[in-house]
Amino acid sequence: MEDFDVAIVGARCAGASLATLLARRGLRVCVVDKAQFPSETPSTHVVQPCGVRILGELGVLDALLETAVPLNRFTMINDDVRIDGPIDVEEFGAPGLCVRRLTLDAALVDACSAAGADVRTGHAVTGVLKDATGRVRGVRSRDGDINARLVVGADGRKSVVAKSVGSAEYLTTPPGRIPAWAYFEGVDDREGRLRIGRVGDLTFLASPTDGGLYMAGIAVDVDRVSDFHSARDTYFNDALARCPDLPELLDGARRVGPIRVMTDWHGYFRQSAGPGWVLVGDAGHFKDFTAAQGISDALRQARSLAATIGDAFSSGGDTDAPLQNWWRWRDRDAYEMYWLATDMGLPGTSTPLITRLLRGIADDTESTRLFGHVLNHDLAPAKLFTPRRLLAASARAFADRPGQIWATSREIGSAIGNDIRRTRARRTIGQLR
């Protein structure tokens, strides 16, 4: 049996980035993944600028920019409301990016090998090893056991590490929609614009990606999923035809490969630290994909976890207490965006209150700028969606539908109720440990 400081299960955005940063700090790191790279995984691949900056720190950005178009503009559409904003490199420190995981994850795996981590691919972990006190001491796999002072589960939504240590889920949310996406060649989009939005009961996301391809995806209401499955091609093509801008962009383009679909997901937080173990990325937390946050979340979490682990190891002290604190930081960091992403992915059509709120943002350049920062996770949603703004939008929503006072009141009441419940739940997070 071999001994490492840290064994990491999962070698994509969370695991490979963490392995690189820890190996650079001189730790003996082993990272294992059951996949062989390059390897696909369900994703629409959009990386927010905060994540792209970390790709720069990891040393993979220049190579990615040789094959992918930097995203310098975003458009968010909500029925007839259109928010157009810049992703200004000066302001955000990086452009946005949409690189297929086939390309991105292979670059991250190469980077952690180059940093000195022991990378083992095609290597499935089956559980964790524990000592007589119940402390995790390594991982078990069909190719042999790996001993380590700390085990990191970076093994995604179906994390074997989370299951083996009995990590409980909390604040779970059911799926509102299922995503379906495909790649196209022959799309002329040199301006590098990310498009995201909702028309009627349909949400969509589209962007140029690497290798000269364009990615376009829709999200289907859960109660329309059987319609989608009964005629996938027709449903998908008809849906794209209803999205603003996309019919013109995709005119003359050719779809490359099948329509990809992901049917089983839900939102959650998981207990993410315990004696000898910690969870990072999707292994510890997953949110609705509509807001395109998971990759940059994984990269930001990997960076902060590397600092926590590196400092604990170099001080020679206890790792458990710092990891518990890191877990608290992860929850605080993810909390507001979790609910914003959940709301963005809700099934059904938009509501008068949301439409009014977004119209207010679209009509004001400063609010549009701030909205870009909310998506970039450097401005809390509550700082943009302030009580004053909500009150103004509510008043206008009443004015928009003078004959439907009760329906509008119910919608506003439900928004306030959600806010109160979420604020209360935030206070109880610390007690779940």
SS3 content of the chain, % helix, strand, coil (to 5): 45, 25, 30
> Which stretch, 154-162, 194-202, 353-361, 415-423, contacts ligand FAD (CB under 6 A)?
154-162
Can you give the three-state secondary structure of 226-266, one letter per residue? Answer: HHHHHCHHHHHHHHHHHCCCHHHHHCCCEEEEEEEECCCCC
278 binds ligand FAD (CB under 6 A): no
Tell me if 160 contacts ligand FAD by CB under 6 A: yes
What is the Cα–Cα distance from 81 to 371, expressed in whole angstroms?
14
* Segment lying near ligand FAD (by CB under 6 A), choices 44-52, 110-118, 338-346, 412-420: 44-52
Smallest gap, in angstroms, from Cβ of residue 262 to ligand FAD?
4
**∠ CA(36), CA(39), CA(42), 5° rounding?**
135
User: Which of 18, 81, 253, 295 touches ligand FAD (CB under 6 A)?
Assistant: 295
Q: Where are the alpha helices (DSSP H) in 316-363?
A: 320-344, 352-362
**196 interacts with ligand FAD by CB under 6 A:** no
Residues 25, 28, 38, 41: which binds ligand FAD (CB under 6 A)? 41
Task: Go through 339-353 and write b for each residue having 16 or more CB atoms within 10 A of its CB, e for each that does not.
Answer: bbbbbbbbbeebbbb
- 182, β-bridge pairs: 216
Q: Taking the complex as a whole, how short is the minimal distance between the CB of residue 86 and ligand FAD, in angstroms? A: 20
Choose, by CB under 6 A, the member of 6, 7, 15, 342 that binds ligand FAD. 15
180 counts as binding ligand FAD under rule CB under 6 A: no
Beta pairing class for 273-274 and 267-270: unpaired
Among the listed ranges 153-161, 192-200, 317-325, 354-362, the one in contact with ligand FAD (CB under 6 A) is 153-161
Identity of the amino acid at 93: G
Selected from 5, 33, 288, 336, the binder of ligand FAD by CB under 6 A is 33
Residues that contact ligand FAD, how many (by CB under 6 A): 37
Residue number, 155 or 331, with CB nearest to ligand FAD: 155
How far is the C-alpha of 34 from the C-alpha of 19, rounded, in Å? 16
**Residues near 229 by beta carbon (within 8 Å), at least 6 away in sequence:** none
Q: Does 34 bind ligand FAD (CB under 6 A)?
A: yes
- Site residues, ligand FAD (CB under 6 A): 9-15, 32-35, 41-47, 124-125, 154-156, 160, 179, 262, 265, 281-283, 289, 292-296, 298
